[in-house]
Amino acid sequence: MSLWPRKLLQELRDCHKAVVLTGAGVSAESGVSTFRGAGGLWEKVDPMKMATPEAFSGNPKAVWEWYEARRRQVAEAAPNRAHEVIAWMEGYFPGFTLVTQNVDRLHQKAGSRWPLELHGSLWMVRCTGNPSCGEWEDRHELVNLPPQCPQCGALLRPGVVWFGEGLPQQTWDEAEEAARACDVFFVIGTSALVYPAAALPEDPLSRGKPVIEINTEETPLSGRVTLSLRSKAGEALESLRELLLGNKPG
């Protein structure tokens, strides 16, 4: 029996604008740690002591080192089937927006061209100095201490969004706009607990559009969506690709 109901497959074939929202579960099959659940990052460290502006100003070296360890883990990781199918979806649907909470850039490595990175990237740094400096830049080399801003000399911090901080405004506006305009919304590998990202499916839900969740566990969204699949992202997405391409009976 297929995971994917026939009627929904037909809706997907007719769909003009699809949105995919991803979370850490999409990178789990690449060996990148998730945040919550058994073995998750927030089981080992307190996020308030590692992922806040106050944590960085209190102990920049410790916070930088923790992010550096994550950069090293991610640098060795390769995209998995889930990333690959999501990159393929960009060409399949006439309109497509990928919104990610992930900071590992594995979507880009798999070929996704314009992911909206709601929580920034491990591969960016941001100046902690005077806000008017505003320096954000891509930084790919691995270094053990927080570097200094080439413009103003203040410390550079990881270019990720921390607890208590706002999301990059334009990125968020584009994500909301895509959610408002979509015919179908996928929520893949996210615990759907962190706002505002977790609110994005609300608009398509209120418009009666199909919202499809793929997650190995139940989430607060599971009971409210059109279809909630208990599956690894790679498996469910590979099966979807084959069905949409007509390689498997629906």
For the CB of residue 48, give the shortest distance to ligand OAD in the complex, in Å.
11
Q: Which is nearer to ligand OAD, 70 or 139 (CB)?
A: 70
3-state secondary structure of 99: strand
For the CB of residue 42, give the shortest distance to ligand OAD in the complex, in Å.
7
For the CB of residue 153, give the shortest distance to ligand OAD in the complex, in Å.
27
**94: cis peptide before it, omega within 30°?**
no
Q: Check 16, 83, 107, 119 and give the catalytic one.
A: 119
What is the rounded CA–CA span in Å between residue 233 and residue 238?
Answer: 8
Burial (CB < 10 A; 0-12, 13-18, 19+), residue 142, is exposed
CA distances from 238 to 24, 27, 86, 241 (A): 18, 15, 10, 5
Query: Is 83 marked active-site?
Result: no
Q: Residue 50 corresponds to which tokens in the numbers above?
A: 């590692």
One-character DSSP codes across 203-240: HHHHTT--EEEEESS--TTGGGSSEEEES-HHHHHHHH
Closest-CB residue for ligand OAD? 25
Chain residues binding ligand OAD by CB under 6 A are 23-25, 28-29, 34-37, 40, 47, 51, 101, 119, 161, 189-191, 193-194, 214-217, 219, 232-233
Q: Which is nearer to ligand OAD, 59 or 231 (CB)?
A: 231
Q: Residue 19 corresponds to which tokens in the numbers above?
A: 């949105």
Q: Which is nearer to ligand OAD, 132 or 169 (CB)?
A: 169
The one-letter amino acid at 62: A
For the CB of residue 72, give the shortest distance to ligand OAD in the complex, in Å.
17
DSSP secondary structure code for residue 116 in this structure? E
For the CB of residue 101, give the shortest distance to ligand OAD in the complex, in Å.
4
Q: Which is nearer to ligand OAD, 29 or 203 (CB)?
A: 29
Give catalytic residues, as residue numbers.
119
